Structure 1
């Protein structure tokens, strides 16, 4: 009987729930994903080992070395070695082997030794896969809790491909990612982008067979996986994509690698490091590597140490208080010269903030690299409630003729459905945005078929109009519908600052009057 998605998801959540007595939900992923992937590897290895033994019954005259050579040549795609070899504690670094010892002291140490041994034995596939593994310390996670988690996870069905498809396994992994994110609040936004936002960006960029896809802030790898899934759903070959990602947090990079493996995507490279300070993907001459498709949801308004001299800094250098445009500059430098395109989610401030950011924005627009600005609804993300936008870029000279020397603006800010903790984009919302993106526009920049975009307000604005507006990309300046429904954000900020100053003056007068009357105890 086939294993259902619901069954495996329920069992995995039961295992995760055992951690509730030991740590906050935001930390569950650092324990559950390594254990889940270890069980997947072990179940797969043991399934292939049983097949090897069945196929080679009667070959007792083989030496251990010959048997090992045949098994790993014809049956196994990775090795699960022994831990503590040559000692009385020697045992295979597999899930079942260690599970048999859960009542004995030192369980965490054995788990750690097993995961490290698997990494070491398979450096090309699993180097640094399992992260820092700090949770294997008895001080972090007691033997009793770790044993309870392993026993609960052991009740999941065998995870080898003969029993559970990669679609089910990948879906279960994503289920846990979303469940952890829904329950852990803002911290989840550091590594998980809501699926519908990812799908929107990937739909717009439309990856093709054999192309390269790069995410410079890849988190759990969702955008890379979505690229392959979309291609597969359209009848393409998702497995032909060459996937690249960089992630600053080691444990999160491990989550991404495991996520990709669970989805049966093996043509990937995920590196650890700060993309702005230490980009890990470079050409032989040391310049930034280039890719066909670049996708990202970088940390918003990240404080950083600006470049002093860097070829990526077209138009200048982003300010210390916000690296938003630095991530854009990196993505632009990473676009393939012939067909490179990029999509990035950022806060609306990148559209209108002045000084250094305005100088970069001017250069990007003058070089005709920005193709579209898509305004999204508020409260879509786990780590912020602010409205965001998607910026779409094309390599110099590669825009379609009708899209050159201008920018397409799409207002999807009111298109969402309310969920428990946040707003979501429905499949219909995504489809309408993609339709609007592909629409044709008349000489005034209005859609030729205004009903064909699902009711979304959209307009193609020529560069001359943008220049006349001081290179301000605020959507309300170009779409009257958006301007009518919400005031210019810069105006709102000015109004807020005036009101705040007036309130502070009123409070000071009130406190002075109270103090003169001998009434104290109010906090300023």
Structure 2
């Protein structure tokens, strides 16, 4: 932070569910000389211990693919009662993966554009990108983010970066007050080929990013150009609708020997078993040059 603004005053805020992780965070910040009164212990999704707070920067690495059954009542209650005045107005993801709840939680801490907005970085698995068809909770959350033009970039990271899983992960970069050149656009960066092998694996972690490689990814983002690993898209490019096409009622048909033979060779006819013979006779009685104009 001091590299960007020597006069900046850093005040950390955080909330953590795991007591050991919370204690480590508090100890680390005390050693660095920070006031730790704003580092809270508790469940972020069911009990926001920093209500009403707004931040310049937000960072999160929520658990991948963890269900939120234990806090389902509280989350659904907030969604139903508070709507967009709460944290979960756009919709709710499937209970088996609460990643997008954390994303909405961070966005609820955003500052208005008049105050410079908020920049957010969050590491997610691939499921928030792809899960949910049009109209589902996940899709509505993504639509809300894109229509408000908050999504700045998504960076695909290499696999095998984490100790407890080898899955591919993605960094979502969001800004609620984009710079003019980025407005209406989303940058996709493929950084899956940028990594260094570890001499010895630690659990599932077999790769890491050097400082130079991190700077390389940062440059790809900062340059904001089309390259083989950096693509720019309009926000509208990610929108889609689900349309149900009903098969029209067939009132005009003709039975031929060829169509009967084709039908009899198919699975539907084979599944009729002991009813095959009467069906065959009924079809053959209709065969000929007659053009039937209704189902009767």
Q: Is TM-score (shorter-chain normalized) higher than 0.5?
A: yes
Distance 1:307 1:405 in 2: 31
Q: Which residue in the other structure is 2:51 paired with?
A: 282
Q: Which residue in the other structure is 2:238 paired with?
A: 466
What are the superposed Cα offsets for residues 140-161 of structure 1, whole Å, 9 maximum, x if unpaired?
Answer: xxxxxxxxxxxxxxxxxxxxxx
Q: Which residue in the other structure is 1:236 paired with?
A: 6
1:351 aligns with 2:129: yes
Q: Specify whether residues 233 and 401 from structure 1 end up closer, same or farther in structure 2 by C-alpha distance, changes over 3 A only.
A: closer
Matched residue count: 220
What is the CA-CA distance between 1:314 and the residue it aligns to? 3.2
Q: Specify whether residues 334 and 300 from structure 1 end up closer, same or farther in structure 2 by C-alpha distance, changes over 3 A only.
A: same
Distance 1:378 1:301 in 2: 16
1:411 aligns with 2:190: yes
- Is the contact between residue 296 and residue 343 of structure 1 (CA under 8 Å) also seen in structure 2? yes
Distance 1:324 1:251 in 2: 22
Q: Which residue in the other structure is 2:170 paired with?
A: 389
Q: Specify whether residues 469 and 400 from structure 1 end up closer, same or farther in structure 2 by C-alpha distance, changes over 3 A only.
A: farther
Distance 1:277 1:458 in 2: 37
The answer for unaligned runs of 5 or more in structure 2 is 80-85, 243-296
What is the CA-CA distance between 1:267 and the residue it aligns to? 6.1
What are the superposed Cα offsets for residues 43-77 of structure 1, whole Å, 9 maximum, x if unpaired?
Answer: xxxxxxxxxxxxxxxxxxxxxxxxxxxxxxxxxxx
- Is the contact between residue 189 and residue 229 of structure 2 (CA under 8 Å) also seen in structure 1? yes
List aligned pairs for 1:98-497, cutoff 5 A: 231-233=1-3, 236=6, 240-266=9-35, 269-283=38-52, 289-304=53-68, 305=72, 306-310=75-79, 311-337=86-112, 338=115, 339-354=117-132, 355-395=136-176, 398-419=177-198, 420-421=200-201, 422-441=206-225, 446=226, 450=227, 457-467=229-239
What is the CA-CA distance between 1:344 and the residue it aligns to? 0.1
Q: Which structure has the higher relative contact order (CA within 8 Å, separation 6+)? A: 2
- Is the contact between residue 29 and residue 36 of structure 2 (CA under 8 Å) also seen in structure 1? no
What are the superposed Cα offsets for residues 95-122 of structure 1, whole Å, 9 maximum, x if unpaired?
Answer: xxxxxxxxxxxxxxxxxxxxxxxxxxxx
What is the CA-CA distance between 1:237 and the residue it aligns to? 5.3
Q: Specify whether residues 469 and 415 from structure 1 end up closer, same or farther in structure 2 by C-alpha distance, changes over 3 A only.
A: farther
What is the CA-CA distance between 1:335 and the residue it aligns to? 1.4
Answer 1 or 2: which has greater helix percent: 1
Normalised by the length of structure 1, the TM-score is 0.40
Structural RMSD (CA): 2.0
Answer 1 or 2: which has greater strand percent: 2
- Superposed structure 1 runs of 4+ greater than 3 Å apart: 232-235
